[in-house]
Chain A
Amino acid sequence: MMRTMLIALVAFGAVSTGVLAQPKREARQATELPCKLVDYRIARSDAKGPPDTVAVLCDGARLADFASTAVLYKLQDESVVYPAIESVDVQGGAARSGFWLVFRFTRSLQPGQDYELRLSGTYARPTDPTVAERFSSTRFRFSTRPDLAVAKTPGRADVYLTSHFEMQVSGAAQLIDAANRKEYTLEPASAEPDDYDGMGQILIRGGPSSPGQLGGKLEVRGVTDAFGQVPPVKPPKPAPPPAAPKSKDAAAWYFNFLHQAGVGISPSWIANIKAAPILSVLPGGFFVTPALNVDAGHGQVGQTRTNDLINPKLGVTRLVRTGSGILEALRFAPSFSYETDRAGDKRNALFDGDWRLYVRGLRNTQASRTREAFQRARLLDPKVLPQDVPKKKFGYDTQVYLGTEIGGSLTDDTAKSSDKSSQVVVPAYAIRRLRPHVSSTWEWGSFTASVSVYPRYLFSPENVTREMATPQPGGGTKRTIFLKTASGWRPYGECSISYAFDPAGHYAVNTVYKLGSQPPNFDRINLAQSGILIRF
C-alpha cells in the first residue's frame, strides 16, 4: 500500500514538475536587442592570468535571460580581419552580471589591438520571461589600447581616473602631476572585483577640485592594467560650461538688474537678486539651505513706491513622504531670517517655519503630461523619440503652504521720510505672523496664467511708517513721516499672464497685477506692471 502511494506521489510530482517547468517559447521574428551596447570592460577570469573576458553594458532594460554565440574578430585599419579569432557560446548566469553581458574567451586578448564582437542568439524580457526572442546579429567594437584618462566626476567638479581595463591598484598608488609638483593618493572605486561598473575606476583622494587644476604631464605609480602594464594617463579634456538654469526657482544664483525711466518721472532702478545654493545633506535627511532674496528699488511711480525687501535666510529643509493618501508629502523648511529694507529703517529677526503640502491631484503640468504621453507612445513603439510626441496644450500646478514668522525688530530705529525732511523713531516690537500661501499656475499652449495669494495675519501690532505731503507756507510740499501700526489680516496677491514666443518658453511678454501689502513696512500696493520675461 505504502509503495503504491509512494509511486503515485513520485509520478504526480514528475507530472507537476513537467507542467510547471514549461519549455520556453521562441518568438518567430528576429528583433533588435532591447538595449544599446555602449560601454565595456576588459577583465581577467583568473586574477593572475592575461585578460580573456569582455563585459559589455546593455544600456536599457534588464534582460531576464540571455544566450548568445559571440564571435571575436580582429580589426585592422577599422576593417575586419577574417577568419574569426574565436567563437564562444554563452548562456544562463555566466552570460550576465546585472546589466552587463559577459563573454569569456579561451584565448587571451592581445594588448594594443582593436576588436569586433558579433553576437547572435536569444533574450527574454522580465515582463515575459517565458518567451525567448531572437535578436538579429549585433556588432560591438572595442579596443585594448591603453585608455586611462582623467575625467570629471558626474554631477560634481572634481575628477577621477577612468579606464575600460581592470586595474590593479596597490596601497601606495599615486597620481603624479609633474607640472604642478603634486602627488595624490589613489584608491579603487569599488572593492567588489565582479562589479563591472566600478572596474577600472580609480578615485583620487584629496584630488583637485576641478580638471583645470591638473597639469598636462601626468603619470601613475602602483597602478597596473589587466595586461600587467603601467598605463599612461591622458590629461583631462576641457569640459563645456554647464547649461544655465531654466527659471529663477531652479537657479541657485540669480541676478537681475532693471532700469526704469519715463516722461515726467525720475529714472529708477530695481534689483532682483536670489542666492540659494543647497550646500549639503545633514543627518536625518535635512539639507542646508542658505538664501538671500533682494527685491529692492529706488524711486517711485506717481504715489506708488517700488518694492523694498532685503531678506537673507539660513535654514534647513526636509521632505517627508507619506507614501499614500491625498497628502503625498510634507516639506518642512525652518529658517532664521533677517528682514530689512534698503534704507535699513527696518531690522527684523525672524524664525520662519514653512510647511509645503503636496496634495494629490493639484499638479499635472504640460511637461508632465507630455512626458506621460511619450512613455505611453514608447511602450507601443520603442523607437519613438521625445520630439515625436506632440506637446500637450493644457497643464496646471497648485502649491499650498503653511507658514509662520515669529520674532521681533531688534532695536528702536529712526526712519526718515523719502525727501529726508522729517524723521520718526520706530519703537521695537514683537512679530507673530501666520503666513499661509497658495500659488496656482495654469498653462494653455503658449499662455501661462498665475495667481499667488498670501493671506498673512499679524497677531501682534507692528510699527510701520507712512508718509504724507504737507503743504508749506511758502508754497510747495514736504514729505512728513509718521508712525502707524499694522495688525490683523494683511493679505497680498499677484496675478499674471504671460505669452511665450519660443516653444521652450524662455522668452515671453507678461503683465502682472499686484495688490495688498508686504512686510516689513506693509505699504499698500495696487499696481499693474508689463514687461518682457526671460527665463534661463
Chain B
Amino acid sequence: MSIRDRVNLVLACWCGADPDSIDQAMSLTDLWESTANNASSPHSAIPFQPEGVEDLLVRLGKEFKKPGRVRKDTSGLTPACFKPNGDIDSVNDLVRAIVVCPNLPPMPAKGTA
C-alpha cells in the first residue's frame, strides 16, 4: 500500500470520512470541520488546533511504525508544523511531509518473515 493510501486511511479513522472520497487538495482544517458531526467519529467539540492535530499525529505515528517495508519516524512533526503556524495545510501537504520523514528500518510483517 502506498504512503498516500495509508495517510488517507489514517485520515478516515481520524475524522470519519470515507477514505475514497477525501479530496487530496482539501485543507485538513476543512476536512476536520466538515466531518465534525460524523456518527462514527464525532468531534464537533474538539478544535483542529492543537487537539485535532495532536490526535492525528498520534495516529500517524502508530500507522507508520507498523511492521512493513516502508516505516517512517513521524516524531519530528508537531502541531506547530500545521496551519496556522506551519505550512502543512492540505492532505497533499501531509502526504509530502510523511514521504520525507526519516525512514525507520524495515520490519517484516507478521506471517511474512
Contact = CB atoms under 8 A, between A and B. Distances in A.
Interface string A197-214: 110010101000000000
B67 interface: no
A406 interface: no
A361 interface: yes
B25 A98 contact: no
Chain B interface extent, by class:
35 or more
Contacts of A153: 97, 100
Contacts of A155: 77, 81-82, 86-88, 93, 97
B18 A126 contact: yes
Contacts of B96: 154, 197
B79 A278 contact: yes
A140 to B, nearest CB: 16
B41 to A, nearest CB: 6
A22 interface: no
Contacts of B43: 321, 328-329, 358
Contacts of B99: 189-190, 197-198, 201
Nearest to A151: B100
Nearest to A397: B47
Contacts, number: 182
Nearest to B14: A321
Contacts of B80: 252, 277-278
Given A243-B84, A279-B78, A368-B36, A201 B44 contact: no
A155 B57 CA distance: 13
A249 to B, nearest CB: 9
A187 B103 contact: yes
Given A61-B22, A280-B78, A363 B44 contact: yes
Nearest to A129: B20
Given A281-B57, A281-B58, A245 B46 contact: no
Interface in B50-77: 50-51, 54-55, 57-58, 61, 69-70, 74-77
Contacts of B36: 368, 372
Interface of B: 2-5, 18, 20-25, 29-30, 33-34, 36, 40-47, 49-51, 54-55, 57-58, 61, 69-70, 74-82, 84-88, 92-97, 99-100, 102-103, 106
Given A60-B23, A155-B81, A329-B43, 8 more contacts: A60-B25, A189-B100, A192-B3, A197-B4, A203-B103, A280-B76, A281-B61, A329-B51
30 contacts: A57-B24, A59-B92, A61-B23, A97-B2, A154-B81, A154-B93, A154-B100, A155-B88, A189-B103, A190-B3, A192-B2, A197-B95, A198-B70, A198-B99, A201-B100, A243-B84, A245-B85, A250-B85, A281-B75, A285-B61, A318-B54, A319-B54, A323-B40, A329-B46, A360-B44, A362-B45, A363-B46, A363-B47, A364-B44, A375-B34
